[in-house]
Chain A
Amino acid sequence: MRFLPFIFKHLRKNWIRSGSTACAIALCIFLFCTLQTFVASLKGFLGQGTTRLITRHNVSLVFRLPNAYEAKIAAVPGVERVAVSNYFGGMRDLSKPADAFTNFAIEADSFLAMYPEFILAEPERKAFLEDQHGCIIGRALAETFHWKVGDTIQLESNISSYRTARPLDFVISGIYQTDQVRYPGTNESVLFFHYKYLDEATGRKARVSTFRVEIAHPRQAGVISHAIDDLFENSDTQTHTETEAQYRASLGILGGNLIVLLNGIALAVMFTILLVTANTMSMAVRERHTEIAVLKTLGFSNRLVLFLILGESVALGALGAVTGLLLGRSLINVLPNVPVIGDVVRGFPKMNVPPQIGVVGLGIGLSVGLGAGLFPSLLAYRARITELLRHV
């Protein structure tokens, strides 16, 4: 402990070098934490909903199922709830694909009951359930289009079979919130409306893209999936039932690839800071040959000298890591407004660096410091006084 001032004095002496190294470490730790937060939320998102199954047409999502299947699925032992959910593909203006956002026709009562991810204030929930033309939207969507509760909007589907004579009218009944800590990656840019409205507007021809099936126990997922598919084995239209995680994996853009890609980048980032820090430390030791010799002459043990240099390196790593984490905390609110970068960040729900990843980031900072200081400090440990003094 009493050598801390010594270590800091050294770092201060060549403050430009220490500063720029710490900045390099900080930036890289910041990048690492941001990317890993994204990976964690992606993984969390993909792994969610273990108590939910999805039943669709066995050929693919493009085909739809008869409405009558709903009652049969609900009767399967172990099934708690069933809700219809159809991707609507509604747009405000079909000639402006850039404005497109996701929207689903759902059986709201049971759907909201099995998706606690979408948090609605009780009066708004009630208003939505009571109004057949009502819809609920995510916070981010409300911000994008400056929509508020009570606004009316018109949507026209880009899917041929949902085309109606005129666009469907909706009233915004509520704006849902999300809990990104408990349910990472919950989409904040979706519009949900009543399936009944769609079905009536299309003259009862909407049929069903997916049944969302809530089950009591995750471990029953396999058994119940088979039980549902067996129900329709011998009918004209067969089903395919899978867990929500499997369903998401089959849809995901890049899916597993993206996680590999981001982890690869994180590895490159770590290696880069290791190089920068190692460079700094080897410079620090090289210019200090005489000083180390003096320390040793004065009776400082080889070991102590080694620890002093290692300490300096680790302190540098810690300094950088802490700065990087603080940077991450403050930038999380600023980033979405930066051009280019904002486009990437805005696409995803707002995320804060979770504590676990912060700890990992700090750990990386420290170990980079340790790793970078290892070689130079070993050299100093081994070098003999006479040798050190010979170099000027």
Chain B
Amino acid sequence: MGLPISYNIRSLLARWKSTSLAVLGISLVVAVFVGLLSMASGFRLALRATGNPQNAIVLQKGSQSEISSSFIKAANDWVAVDARIARGAEGVPLASPELVTIVALPKRSDGELSNVTVRGVTPAAFTVRNQVTIIQGRRMKPGLFEIIVGTHVKERIRGLDVGSRLSIMKHEFDVVGIFVAEGSSFESEVWSDFDAIASALNRSGTENSLTVRLADPSTLPSFDLELEANPQYQLEMKPERQYYEDQAGPLSKFLRSLAGFVSVVMGIGAVFGAMNTMNAIVAARGREIGTLRALGFSRSSILFTFILEGLFLAIVGGILGCLLAFSMDGLNSTTTANMGEVAFAFRVTAVDLVYGFLFATAMGIMGSLSPVLRAAAMPITTALREA
């Protein structure tokens, strides 16, 4: 026969001071754990949102990023005519040649320089990357020295409001619009007209990357093999999403390992804390346990009920910790990916919460195991004799 759950809850409430200390301890550990995970998630999600699953990016073979890649227009034209690339209105291939560079610009906050990615695009970019939406002003006109600015850049960098001017390599560009891009890393970029930036950088005839919309994404591996087999142009093709996720890789990995390290060490500390509380709970109730046993409750049901009590502690701590972590949701941070600064927000994902919760549960069970085993093993007579 089992003991009613209300028995455990009332017992925890009777020792509310000790209970709340243990709960707080667990919740802090869970909060730190979930907070670090959410930072990694936020960064990964920002870069993930940048890649469209239908798109593929063509780079110079062996270059790990757009910045270091470069190929000539002939290579671009050879790829763009391929039938596997989706067509838009009037049969134009959905292929966006891009020139990518980094420009150091002063931050709004302290005037220190920050590396901003500047991307030269043709009108095709807006169909291939359909997450880009102008929220103020208009798009740049082809052939003109005009730029549009991602919202994150506009917030972070001085003098990039609509109507102001930006000088790149002694060429003046007019800011004509502000855009959002579904939280992706494009929002940390400045976009200009392809030919305008090419002439400013003196790089006409070359490009850094070509992003294409595939009619059928499953054709990508064979397409890539064909590109790589061509010795003349030395190209390779990757899923766009994978390309951006790879850029997030090192930092995400670092944050996840940091989360692992910090939480394991803190977690063991919190297990000791929970153990103390459960020890006290058990020790203070020697006579009670004896009485329960005398009344006919079995050892296993006593074991179960005390583990349940430990679990309650942990679950409340876990919930509190997740709530604490939620206060970090949306917190802004920046980091460097591909030399350019990328803004991202902490994102507490469902998976992070589940991990946090499981972690709390494990702490609760581990903390209550040894005191509870002792309690259950105690002979009735000894238990009853205890104070």
Binding site for B on A (CB under 8 A): 16-17, 20-21, 23-25, 27-28, 30-31, 35, 58-63, 89, 91, 94-95, 97, 100, 156, 158-161, 240, 242, 246, 249-254, 257, 261, 265, 268-269, 271-273, 275-276, 278-280, 282-283, 287, 340-341, 343-345, 347, 392
Contacts and interface: CB of A to CB of B under 8 A. Distances in A.
Contact of B62 (A60, A95, A252): A95
B302 interface: no
B251 interface: yes
B68 interface: yes
A62 B269 contact: no
B275 A20 contact: yes
A275 B266 contact: no
Contact of A250 (B18, B24, B112): B112
A252 B269 CA distance: 32
B12 to A, nearest CB: 14
A392 B387 CA distance: 9
Contacts of A31: 262, 265-266, 269
Interface of B: 17-18, 21-22, 24-25, 28-29, 31-32, 36, 39, 60-65, 67-70, 101-104, 112-115, 168-169, 246, 251, 253-254, 257-258, 260-262, 264-266, 268-270, 272-273, 275-277, 279-280, 283-284, 333-336, 339, 387
Contact of B168 (A16, A59, A249, A271): A59
A30 B265 contact: yes
B251 A268 contact: no
Given A31-B266, A254-B251, A279 B112 contact: no
B261 A268 contact: no
Contacts of A17: 276, 279-280
Q: Interface majority SS on B: helix, strand, loop or mixed?
A: helix
A97 B64 contact: yes
Nearest to B284: A287
Contacts of A24: 268-270, 272-273
Nearest to A276: B273
Contact of B102 (A27, A60, A282, A345): A60
Contacts of B61: 94
Give the residue among B36, B70, B273, B280 with the most A Cβ atoms within 10 A. B273
B276 A265 contact: no
Contact of A268 (B32, B264, B276, B334): B32
A153 B61 CA distance: 21
Nearest to A341: B261
Give the residue among A27, A28, A100, A271 with the most B Cβ atoms within 10 A. A27
A28 B276 contact: no
22 contacts: A20-B273, A21-B273, A23-B272, A28-B269, A31-B269, A59-B101, A60-B115, A61-B104, A62-B339, A160-B70, A253-B335, A257-B335, A269-B32, A269-B266, A272-B270, A272-B273, A276-B21, A276-B273, A280-B276, A283-B18, A344-B260, A392-B387
A95 B238 CA distance: 12
